[in-house]
Structure 1
Amino acid sequence: MQDRSGTQARICVVGAGRWGQNHLRTLHSMGCLAGVVEPEPGRRRWAQEEYGVSVYDDVSGALRAGFDGYVVAVPAPLHTKVALPLLQEGCAVLIEKPMTLSSEEALRLVEEARKHGARIMVGHLLLFHPAMRKIKEIIDGGTLGRIVYLYSNRLNFGKVRAEENAFWSLAPHDISLFNYFLGSTPVEVTGHGRAFLRDGVEDEVHATLRYAGGEEAHIFASWLHPFKEHRLVVVGSAGMVSYEDSSEQKEVLLYKKRFELDKQGAVESFDEGVESVPYPHLLPLTEELRYFVDHLRDGYKRASGEEGAAVVKVLEQVGERLESKEDGRG
């Protein structure tokens, strides 16, 4: 795949672990995979044999090779360490979510990118999901009227993590989506959760984000749940929309339902049925990487570094609430 200048893009992936391998496979199918950084010798050898590209045991070697862009797919605690030298060399860098584990680190990366003319994109995959793009189109087109509230359930049985709670693990997608749908960031955040398996690591978390326009967004994240449910609902004054990613149909459903007050103040309900809204069934990761390649030189308006830092800030704020007595841990 070529970038906007018509040149074949050469992308290097840093990290050949579980999610990094998805990047490798997708970039290879696009004709853009040109290098891999992986410190583990077995994975490095596998990547070279599987894809026939240059391999490196650290970022410095890949920097000297001068790739057009870099995908940082290492564990989150290493994001800053790996991304910083790339940004200081003015590179285009896609950093997997969460961007960092603190707002301070995220803002430092944004500032370094600005200082050195680098471009940051954050791997908020659902911003490139065609169904989410369709929901954004419905919202912006006014079909739902004034947005009243949104909610997401991101539930499953596992994977349980020791280094982060269920909210940090599961909710970044939903925070990024809510900010995207509403075109703003929360002005107030509350949250509470419970740790059942390990002290201090919440297995289920409920959070509420309040926005300046009066909208409220609710997130329920848990890895201690009997079945998988990835449900998103947006409720407006003139209609409602839902999407269930864990369903077989994966439909965007538009509910033509609303309530109105008559002249006497009585509530009238209107139900004009449900419509399945078509959308292109494209692979989100392919769409994300196409966008990354397409804007290597002019930067990223969607999933930008600033947007990634805003998501980290909400994650931190919910964490502070879990630590406090105001909302807190059960």
Structure 2
Amino acid sequence: MDKKICVIGGGLWGQNHIRTLFQMGNLAGIVESTPQRLDELLRQYPVHGFTDVDAAIKWGFDGYVLATPAETHYPLGKKLLERGLNVLIEKPMTLSSKHSKQLIEIADRTNARLMVGHLLLFHPAIIKIKEVIDSGKIGQLYYVYSNRLNFGTVRTEENIFWSFAPHDISILDYFIGRPATKIAAKGAKFLQDKIYDVTMTQFAYPGNVHAHIFVSWLHPFKEQRLVVVGSRGMISFDDSSLEKNILYYKKQIGWLKGQPVKIEQPDEIIDYEKGMPLTEELKYFVENLDKTIEIASGKTGHEVVKVLETVQELISKDW
């Protein structure tokens, strides 16, 4: 994997990309508009440094990771893709479905690779849970819920749903494999006039499958819990736990003489090979620069942005 990648943005999440790509041997450039911050990064990672994107474009790297604030994703992504350059754009892909669709069209026209940073699609536990669902181990899929809760980081440009929920929307799409037919949502604002701090969103899918996403950055402790419920069993995974175990609960409701009866057997831990999702994501990006991006593609990012827009409209009308 001798591809040379340039990371645009040296902030909190950008530095994670920088560190991981450096460890992989693929980091070749960093773009950071603040000279002092750029100097700090270059002392730690001796690669080419730039204070503006245009200079990095002229250098001609094999791929670019766009880890800048969400409001810059469209203009910077467009600039790169119009030149036929391969880009991994952090989530959310853009702040409007119109713009995300345009980026897909540009990438198709220029034959550029476009990928979106839906990190959890590369999480070994999420991949394993999908395998368990598809195997029939939990029976018919009933519902899925995700809690993504923490104290901070509070955003001033995007609300909690745009900031936290893209991960969970991508997981629901991955697990269920079909778009929601109905969406309902409520939110609450406490800290800023136009920014929601807490949202609860419900989804209905074909086949009587349901889901909900609860996100908040005003929560006393961190929780990244995912629960999947089926007719023959249930799965729980908390990514914020130290163990990061996938727990399988062999529980179901049977019927005896017309009355519901609980059927429970010992729980078990489902084994899976643990790994770093960001490493797996970036490996996939690097390995597919000359191929086709199928996982976390631009189309996937666009579908997530459409849901984000829908929920934004719903919570805005609600109050």
TM-score by length of 1: 0.93
One of 240, 255, 267 as aligned partner of 2:249: 255
- Is 46-55 or 281-290 further displaced after alignment? 46-55
Distance 2:29 2:153 in 1: 30
Cross-structure match for 1:270? 263
Q: Deviations over 1:166-201 (max 9, x none)?
A: 111111111111111111222221100111222232
Distance 2:267 2:118 in 1: 29
- Is 50-59 or 309-318 further displaced after alignment? 50-59
Cross-structure match for 1:124? 118
1:122-201 equivalence runs, <5 A: 122-201=116-195
Cross-structure match for 1:103? 97
Cross-structure match for 1:320? 313
Distance 1:159 1:20 in 2: 15
Cross-structure match for 1:114? 108
Q: Which amino acid aligns with 2:269?
A: S
Distance 1:300 1:211 in 2: 26
Cross-structure match for 1:301? 294
Instruction: Tell me the SS of whatever aligns to 2:203.
Output: strand
Query: Do 1:253 and 1:277's aligned partners in 2 also have CA atoms closer than 8 Å?
Result: yes
Instruction: Tell me the SS of whatever aligns to 1:323.
Output: helix
* Identity in percent: 51
Cross-structure match for 2:204? 210
- Unpaired runs of 5+ residues, structure 2, are none
How far is the alpha carbon of 1:91 from its aligned partner? 2.0
Cross-structure match for 1:289? 282
Distance 2:288 2:207 in 1: 31
Cross-structure match for 1:42? 36
- Asked if 1:235 is matched to 2:229, the reply is yes
How far is the alpha carbon of 1:257 from its aligned partner? 0.9
One of 2, 10, 14 as aligned partner of 2:8: 14
Distance 1:309 1:290 in 2: 22
Cross-structure match for 1:219? 213
Instruction: Tell me the SS of whatever aligns to 1:268.
Output: strand
Distance 1:162 1:62 in 2: 28
Q: Which amino acid aligns with 1:84?
A: K
- Asked if 1:279 is matched to 2:272, the reply is yes
Query: Do 1:90 and 1:113's aligned partners in 2 also have CA atoms closer than 8 Å?
Result: yes
- Unpaired runs of 5+ residues, structure 1, are 3-7
Instruction: Tell me the SS of whatever aligns to 1:273.
Output: coil
Instruction: Tell me the SS of whatever aligns to 2:168.
Output: helix
Distance 1:64 1:157 in 2: 41
- How many residues in Structure 1 have an aligned counterpart in Structure 2? 319
Aligned-pair Cα RMSD in Å: 1.3
